[in-house]
Amino acid sequence: MIAIRGLSKSLDRRVVLNRVDLDVAKGETLVVIGRSGCGKSVLLKHVLGLMKPDSGTVTIFGKQLDQLDRTHLYELRMRCGVLFQGGALFDSLTVAENVGLGLSENTSKSKAEIADIVAERLEWVGLAGVGPRAPSDLSGGMRKRAALARAIAMDPEIVLYDEPTTGLDPITAEGINDLIVRLRERLKVTAIAVTHDMNSAFKIGDRIAMLHDGHIIFDGSVDQVRNSSDPIVQQFIAGATTGPLEPL
Amino acid sequence: MARPPRPRPREARTPVIHRFAVNAAEGGRATPAILCHCAPIHRPWSLVPRPHAHPAFVIAPFAAPADTSLVELIRDIGRRILRLTVYVGGLTVMIGRLLASLPQILGSARLVVYQMLTMGVRSLPLIILTSVFTGAVSAWQAAYQFQNFVPMRYLGTAVGKAVVIELAPVLTALVVAGRVGASIAAELGTMRVTEQIDALEVMGVDPVRYLVMPRVTSGALMMPVLVLFSDFVAIMGALIVAVLMVHLSAATFLNGVKLFFHMSDMYAGLFKASIFGIIISLIGCYQGFQTRGGAEGVGRSTTGAVVIASVLILISDYLIATMLFRV
Ligand SMILES: Nc1ncnc2c1ncn2[C@@H]1O[C@H](COP(=O)(O)OP(=O)(O)OP(=O)(O)O)[C@@H](O)[C@H]1O
Ligand SMILES: [Mg+2]
């Protein structure tokens, strides 16, 4: 479903991604872990062509992104949803308009149908009744959940989550984990999730990959991660300050 | 595992100045001031002192060996040309995408109307204020120049022509550039740095169609309307001065306005207004899209939008004048 081959990217003359290879099969959720600033968000931005690779290719739905023209690229993107790290809610629109924008711009659904879908998605993320409010009036965690509702509004086949549970209290975070698992199980969503939250990673992931120094240094099932002998991986999942990685 | 290379510090990238310092020292011509202060200076020939540069560097280039500063000068010119080329190229691409999205204008009519209202409401009070005084001062100045040479009944003629052809379109455009152009750049710039434009992209909503097209269309349609207001208000301002200060009768003044009034002048003014409106919104949008680097970046693109739009307005005003009005 998603195939990344030899992806390299430098930003400001610093190599962020260095020949990264990753595959995500249909219906699978891949969790990408890695230290802050290691390039996880940059990796996600390449998956839907928001950033252009210096070298390497990204293929989704069997189509290589750099060979698509804008119209076809947009068609593919409509089948995907993205939760941005900062939410990226449109602050000139209400929460409901945010969630419904993809539907009202890209489909011929009526206002009432869109309102129904929007209400349903907001309920899924625990924000029922928040629709008429402005994004700037919401708390950080509410914004994140509103952004999640927007990401899944168009019944996407692929969802990219950038830190879905950051900034949420443990109980809400657990609810979001459940939602992500439910999307995977019921709707067969293919997903890449970036997270620092190992509890969430183990819960939502079928597979976990670790990005370090521009490379994927580990890629395996949840059990393989737990039993990995790689000292870097072990230190990361244990959150230890001693080991090959310096805490700061 | 290899660490990624770090960006070189600024000093390391501009060795020219160090070399100059050494050269000068070898030649025995160096003064302590030059040696101390030239290291962090980026462009030694620049005659405009910049905040981080010590005044000493202003003197330095004249003492510098010709080759080093010349190389750096050429390098800097090259960099500027490159940046300009990239800017114009990016702008051209955006105009291309804008034209490609025009067929969908009907589907976005709501967005266009919303932008037109915002644009009008935002700038009308300021335009009325500036127009009253523009008209008033042009009447006063014309009267000053007319006295003893030209009969005052031609006052309205002179003021009317100047207002309709030049003053109203250009001054309105400059006001709108400061008011609307800046706010477009700030709004889209904020959307860029908070990834809202990326979010549009991934939702399959073309940001050029959704954000740029309504603003540019509204600029093209709304500016002539604003200029009509400005024409009217400025002539009223002039009328007040003519009646109260120059002691002309209102009828004499207005007859003067009508005397050599050609509709073609009016159309030319409105046509210019439309072009200015396109320039203002287009530059505002492009500056916004180009924004990089957080709130500070938004500030930079906003100022840039006003400056670039104002310069382009004045230049294109001249170009349009030479095309439309034959001397
Ligand atoms: N648009 C950009 N321009 C220049 N550099 C960038 C840009 N975006 C990201 N970077 C740089 O790329 C590196 C990786 O950034 P990225 O946002 O992918 O980190 P991350 O792994 O998502 O970190 P976090 O977990 O803190 O979100 C950082 O060093 C960052 O400074
Ligand atoms: Mg990130």
Whether the CB of A13 sits within 6 Å of ligand 1: no
For residue B52, the Cα-to-chain-centroid distance in whole angstroms is: 27
How many folded domains does chain A comprise? 1
By the CB < 8 Å criterion, does B1 face chain A?
yes
CA-based radius of gyration for chain A: 18
Asked whether residue A167 is assigned to any structural domain, the reply reads no
Measure Cα distances from B268 to B141, B274, B276, B317 in Å.
24, 10, 12, 11
Is the Cβ pair A213, B3 closer than 8 Å?
yes
Nearest CA-CA distance, residue A199 and chain B, Å: 27
Q: Are strands A215-221 and A207-212 parallel, antiparallel or unpaired?
A: antiparallel
The one-letter amino acid code at B75 reads R
Domain contains A4: no
How far apart, in whole angstroms, are the C-alpha atoms of residue B254 and residue B156?
A: 6
Indicate yes or no: CB of A101 within 8 angstroms of CB of B1: no
To the nearest whole Å, the CA of B184 is away from the closest chain A CA by: 13
Q: How far apart are CA A58 and CA A60, in angstroms?
A: 7
Please give the model's pTM, rounded to 2 decimal places. 0.83
The verdict on residue A92 lying in a domain is: yes
Best of A8, A10, A40, A216 to mutate for ligand 1, by most ligand atoms within 8 A of CB?
A40
Stretch B208-220: mean pLDDT: 96
Q: What is the mean pLDDT of chain B?
A: 84
B48 in contact with A, Cβ within 8 Å: no
Q: How far is CA B63 from each of CA A3, A200, B50, B185, rounded to the nearest angstrom?
A: 60, 65, 20, 43
Residue to mutate, A17, A18, A38, A160, ligand 1, most ligand atoms under 8 Å from C-beta: A38
What domain range is A115 assigned to?
88-155
How distant, in Å, are the alpha carbons of A12, A56, A209, B156, B244 from that of B153? Answer: 66, 76, 85, 7, 15
Considering every ligand atom shown, identify the ligand nearest to the alpha carbon of residue A211 and give its number.
1
- CA distance, residue B200 to nearest chain A CA (Å): 8
For the beta carbon of residue B141, count every other beta carbon within 10 angstroms.
14
* Chain B: closest CA distance from residue A77 (Å): 5
Q: Are B202 and A50 an interchain contact pair (Cβ–Cβ within 8 Å)?
A: yes
- The answer, yes or no, to whether residue B27 has pLDDT greater than 90, is no
Contact status, residue A93 vs residue A138, Cβ threshold 8 Å: no
Put residue A23 in one of left, alpha, beta given phi > 0 → left and psi -120 to 50 → alpha: beta
DSSP class of B95: H
Instruction: Return the half-sphere exposure (C-beta side, CA atoms, 13 A cut-off) of residue A26.
Output: 5
- pLDDT given at position B50: 46
- Cβ-Cβ contacts under 8 Å, A16 against chain B: 4
Q: With bands split at pLDDT 50, 70 and 90, how would you rate the model's confidence at B108?
A: confident
pLDDT tens for residues B229-269? Answer: 999 999 999 999 999 999 999 999 999 999 888 899 999 99
**What element of type H or E holds B92?**
helix B66-101
> How large is the angle between the packed helices B182-193 and B263-290, nearest 10 degrees?
20
Q: Which of A58-72, A132-146, B55-69, B305-319 has the lowest mean pLDDT?
A: B55-69
Q: Which residue minimizes the CA distance to atom 8 of ligand 1?
A: A42
Segment B159-171, tens digit of pLDDT:
999 999 999 999 9
| Selection from A136, A141, A208, A137 nearest residue A170 by Cα | A141
Residue A223 lies in a domain: no
Alpha carbon of residue A176 to chain centroid? 13
Measuring CA to CA, how many Å separate B215 from each of B158, B188, B274, B316?
Answer: 35, 11, 13, 20
Nearest residue of B to residue A45, measured between CA atoms: B198
User: What digits encode the pLDDT tens for the residues B141-165?
Assistant: 999 999 888 999 899 999 999 999 9
CB contact under 8 A, B195 and A86: yes
Of A75, A80, A101, the CB nearest to B205: A101
Give the C-alpha separation, A181 to B169, whole Å: 60
What would the pLDDT profile of A11-64 be if each residue is shown by its tens digit?
988 999 999 999 999 999 999 999 999 999 999 999 999 999 999 999 999 999
**CA–CA–CA angle A50, A40, A66 (5° rounding):** 30
SS3 A74: helix
How confident is residue A120, by pLDDT bands cut at 50, 70 and 90? very high
Confirm or reject contact between B202 and chain A (CB < 8 A).
yes
Ligand 2 centroid, distance to B70 Cα (angstroms): 44
Do residues B218 and B119 lie in contact, with contact meaning Cβ atoms separated by under 8 Å? yes
CA-nearest residue, atom 20 of ligand 1: A37
What's the A60 CA to ligand 1 centre distance in angstroms?
23
Contact A161, A191 (CB under 8 A): yes
Tens-place pLDDT, residues A156-166: 999 999 999 98
ipTM over 0.95: no
- Give me the residue spans of the domains in chain B: 12-66, 107-324
Burial bucket for residue A58 (CB in 10 Å: 0-12, 13-18, 19+):
buried
State the Cα angle at A141 between A139 and A147, rounded to 5°.
Answer: 100
Measure Cα distances from B47 to A248, B29, B53, B80 in Å. Answer: 44, 21, 11, 17
- In this structure, the residue with its CA closest to atom 29 of ligand 1 is A37
Whether residue A183 is contained in a domain is answered as: no
Q: Is A69 in the pocket of ligand 1 (CB under 6 A)?
A: no
DSSP A143-191: HHHHHHHHHTTT--SEEEEESTTTTS-HHHHHHHHHHHHHHHHHH--EE
> Which candidate, B274, B276, B271, places its Cα nearest to that of B316?
B276
